[in-house]
Structure 1
């Protein structure tokens, strides 16, 4: 079934102003103006983020919605994909964020607006661990774009976690997937936007 609603989730310290989010927003607006697009600023608390997202999509038709997420947003998108039974595109998705973000306790400037900052608390690691401990967030309706050149996350862990779905293993590239536009045709084909 074609998708009429698309949720995009940014990564840790990122924002709706990220290059990928903006590229996707422009693409949806230009090619699929009837599609409902939502790319919220996510709170630092994973529990608050999940609660906000579940509330935000509560009225969305499950069979007509899709998700996208990058890095920590990819972890959230994978979790939501399994929870809501809807397809998701995962871009270099975090696999063990409670482990990987342990060294980031404290205050950090945002990537796109250094005047804004987030405070990542120890409690947030437990919230991530709670999400990780729930049933496997791998859904067969996922497309994972995994860059072997990712300098932040281990591509082998991403591949092992998401191989039940479709995987596009990318030689080179980087964590931000700076060559994102190359993969837009495959992403759009997978999403089947209305």
Structure 2
């Protein structure tokens, strides 16, 4: 399981920790990975692709190294997860995903401080262009479960609802960008990934 955190977030985000703990309790056979992403999209994608192609947990399998990854992406992480899902034909759950982050980030201050690592970095034209280059269409609509909350104060949920209208789409009234009640959705997420509960 590869959890991809959002903009200026980290593996310590609430949803990442809840996912890790749920897997440990209910699906101990599934490894959990959530790297601290680099602050530029090209570096972040290189990190994620390196992990997907690494063969982690597949040492004794004849399958391609990337064939058994499950992706969960939140916000900007949802945008990255979509890119990986298309490139490697992987199932992905997108939580309040960014659809056009290159437009949104144009309105952000160019100088940013990563709150978890303290890194100071800039969002410039090069980064905006790199993000736009990652934009992908949908080739396998059944590979996506998209979960949106109408109360998202950061992203307009209607953008994602329109883009993913032919996918598995669940729109929850209210909530916010953090996706209120995410923990309660974890059983449904695992069911979408067709993960049976471990025999105890």
TM-score, shorter chain, exceeding 0.5:
yes
Listed as ranges, the gaps of 5+ residues in structure 2 are 56-64
CA contact (8 A) 2:4 2:74 kept: yes
Q: Over aligned residues, Cα RMSD in angstroms?
A: 1.7
CA contact (8 A) 2:67 2:88 kept: no
| Pairwise CA distance, 1:186 | 1.1
SS of residue in 1 equivalent to 2:175: coil
SS of residue in 2 equivalent to 1:38: coil
1:120 corresponds to which residue? 122
Q: Which runs of 4+ in 1 moved over 4 A?
A: none
Q: Does residue 1:181 correspond to 2:176, yes or no?
A: no
1:156 corresponds to which residue? 158
Distance 2:40 2:181 in 1: 30
Q: Which has the larger radius of gyration?
A: 2
Q: Does residue 1:136 correspond to 2:137, yes or no?
A: yes
* Aligned pairs for 1:28-67 within 5 A: 28-60=23-55, 61-67=65-71
| Pairwise CA distance, 1:57 | 1.1
| Pairwise CA distance, 1:109 | 3.3
2:194 corresponds to which residue? 192
Mean Cα deviation higher: 31-40 or 6-15 = 31-40
Distance 2:19 2:97 in 1: 17
| Pairwise CA distance, 1:33 | 1.5
Q: Does residue 1:73 correspond to 2:68, yes or no?
A: no
2:14 corresponds to which residue? 19
Cα deviation per residue 1:24-53 (whole Å; 9 max; x = unaligned)? 011111211221211001111111111111
User: Structure 1-normalised TM-score?
Assistant: 0.89
Q: Does residue 1:89 correspond to 2:89, yes or no?
A: no
User: Structure 2-normalised TM-score?
Assistant: 0.86
| Pairwise CA distance, 1:80 | 0.7
Q: How many residues align?
A: 185
CA contact (8 A) 1:78 1:138 kept: no
Which is strand-richer, 1 or 2? Answer: 1
| Pairwise CA distance, 1:185 | 1.7
Distance 1:9 1:193 in 2: 19
CA contact (8 A) 2:149 2:177 kept: yes
Q: Greater RCO between the two (CA within 8 Å, min separation 6)?
A: 1
Listed as ranges, the gaps of 5+ residues in structure 1 are 1-5
Distance 2:29 2:39 in 1: 31
SS of residue in 2 equivalent to 1:116: coil
